[in-house]
A = this chain, B = another copy of it.
Amino acid sequence: MRPAPDGIVPLAPPPPLPEGGLRVVALGGVGEVGRNMTVFEHDGRLLVVDCGVLFPEDDAPGVDLILPDFRAIESRLDDIEALVLTHGHEDHIGAVPFLLKLRPDLPVVGSRFTLALVAAKCREHRQSPVLVEVVEGQRSQHGPFECEFFAVNHSIPDALAVAIRTSAGVVLHTGDIKLDQLPLDGRLTDLAGFSKLGDEGVDLFLVDSTNAEVPGFVTPEREIGPVLDGVIGKARQRVIVACFASHVHRVQQILDVAAAHGRKVSFVGRSMVRNMGIATELGLLSVPDGLLVDIDEAMTLPDHGVVFVSTGSQGEPLSALSRMARGEHRQIRIRPDDLVVLASSLIPGNETAVFGVVNGLARLGARVVHQGNAKVHVSGHASAGELLFLYNAVRPSNVMPVHGEWRHLRANAELARFTGVPANRVVLAEDGVVVDLVDGIARITGRVEVGHVYVDGLSVGDVGESTLSDRLILGEGGFIAITVVVESHSGRAVAPPTISGRGFSDDPKALDDVVPLVEMELSRTEAEGITDTHRIAQAVRRVVGRWVAETYRRRPMIVPTVLPVGAP
């Protein structure tokens, strides 16, 4: 558990929520990109929107996932009326099984595709959640919360925005959103619906901030198709296209281009196979008869007769694409003139991994097309121009930018102000900050602790700051372990100390000077009559730490172990 950094809002429990008020607290996703989860409270009851995971960066080494911090609701699980999911991306649904472990009967509300992905995820966790399917235009009542759902477009089908009506007023939460005016499935973001809601009066507007810093408008998804057609049409050999396993419309365009050029398609990667199966079943992906082949059959086809659609677009080291780049894939060996297309975003933090894959492929002779050299990706999040459309449609009384790092939140706040929202009605919050909507005015009233909850292997929460801080030290400098056996009554060393270093040096003689150094220190402690093993260990740590700093100017972890033998 990572403690929250010193806040712009000091940690302080909020005052009791006035009757008729609405409280909003993000347990993740505000001040960061990922693990989105927002809790709404009204009349003693709770409604949760989204429950996603965050993928760790360098500051959390060895960690698999970061979860929202459930502590703020742990004692009130029975007060939760429902979990509403805006769409099926991992940063919105990835932590659902962890919440359901605490409250298995919690109703999970979402669109058809979202719930299908949740169901598949829960099956892996051997859970059978209570699923409540909704569609855009529908209203549903959950305790004192009336939800109304709006179609929005994003980089996954079937995404929803949700309006929440209570006696405190109307809240609109965009989820992840963009305003593609020519969406592939014809399902427009319901700007007219937002506008009607705006006529009614939106008291608090929670808005996706991801691309608030980016000027202009996101290019329509359908413009990717012709670009793919251009690059794949010219390809002489095999084609491998990597993209997100949930990006059904991107995959649809790849399938269409493959079919147009007489190539079969093979899905590579477990989540790609699974999700495209679900999408086909739900009628969201249209696959011409006979187009799909499995990888074994694909390997028997001529090079110009196949397109592999693969996961691994973020450079994940174990993915098929990374294996190909290292020349380690069991079936697919990259050859000169193979074409690899990364039809995907470059998520900040993944640059080194992704370009490592690109370079590996280029080194083996492949031509690699990526968003840096061709228009093979468009974002799923509204740019500044689109956000202005949203503000002008909704005309909110209060705004709370969500889904973004501080730079994104601040840029989004500025857009809100440009459209006429008074500066003091734009609430810049972050995870844990308590925002109360009372009498039509949203105000920060306190802050609860929201830390990072780490999943490492099978266990949740036992890896925390102390462990991570040790990992960072060990990862930078390794350790030097010194083991000493002393007579417990005299503190006298009964044998020469054992020294071993790992992650410190390749030179087997690097630590040769440590034995005499420690022996000298042990003579000193013995002469001073020190028998306490803890004090002896401290002395050893100090003398070795000083030596290594002076000799190498390095800071490995110094790990002394002092074992007492004999009668005390």
Contacts of A504 in B (CB 8 A): 467
Min Cβ gap A218→B in Å is 16
**Chain B, Cβ-Cβ closest to A365:** B8
- Comparing A98-106, A295-303, A559-567, the segment that makes contact with chain B is A559-567
How many of chain A's residues have a CB under 8 angstroms from any CB in B?
79
Chain B min CB distance to A419 (Å): 19
A456 is an interface residue with CB less than 8 A from chain B: yes
A359 in contact with B407 (CB, 8 Å):
yes
A467 contacts B363, C-beta separation under 8 Å: no
Question: A467–B506 contact, CB under 8 A?
Answer: yes
Chain B residue, CB-CB nearest to A347: B351
CA distance A479 to B473 in the complex (A): 12
**Which B residues lie within 8 Å of A479 (CB)?**
474, 479, 502
Which residues of A, 504-531, contact B by the 8 Å Cβ criterion? 504-507, 510
B500 contacts A462, C-beta separation under 8 Å: no
Chain A 36-93 interface residues, beta-carbon cutoff 8 Å to B: 57-58, 61-62
Q: Let me know if A456 and B405 touch, CB within 8 A.
A: no
Please give me the residue from chain B that is nearest to A497 by CB atom.
Answer: B563
Q: Write the chain B residue with the least CB distance to A556.
A: B62
Pairwise interchain contact B355-A407, C-beta atoms closer than 8 A: yes
Please, which residues of chain B bring their CB within 8 A of the CB of A373?
213-215, 411
List A residues 186-225 near B (Cβ within 8 Å).
213-215
Per-position 1/0 for A473-505, Cβ under 8 A of B = 111111101010100000000110010101111
A510 neighbours in B (Cβ, 8 Å): 462
Cα–Cα, bound, A373→B364 (Å): 36
Please, which residues of chain B bring their CB within 8 A of the CB of A406? 358-360, 362-363
Known: A359-B405, A368-B407. A476 touches B506 (CB 8 A): no
Are A474 and B502 closer than 8 Å at their CB atoms?
yes
Chain B residues contacting A468 (CB-CB under 8 Å) are 503
**Cα A279 to Cα B526 with chains together (Å):** 60
Is A553 interfacial (CB 8 A cutoff)? yes
Q: Which of chain B's residues have a CB closer than 8 A to the CB of A561?
A: 481, 483, 498, 500, 561
Residues of A within 8 A of B (CB): 1, 6, 8, 31, 57-58, 61-62, 213-215, 327, 348-349, 351-352, 355, 358-360, 362-365, 367-368, 372-373, 405-407, 409-411, 430, 456-459, 462-468, 470-479, 481, 483, 485, 494-495, 498, 500, 502-507, 510, 551-554, 557, 559, 561, 563, 565
What 12 new A-B contacts, CB under 8 Å, besides A363-B430, A474-B475?
A: A8-B364, A58-B352, A214-B373, A348-B351, A373-B411, A458-B551, A463-B505, A466-B506, A474-B479, A475-B476, A479-B502, A498-B561
21 example contacts (A-B, Cβ-Cβ < 8 A) are as follows: A6-B327, A61-B475, A214-B372, A214-B373, A348-B352, A362-B405, A362-B409, A456-B554, A457-B553, A458-B552, A459-B505, A462-B506, A470-B478, A471-B476, A471-B478, A474-B478, A474-B502, A475-B475, A475-B476, A494-B565, A495-B565
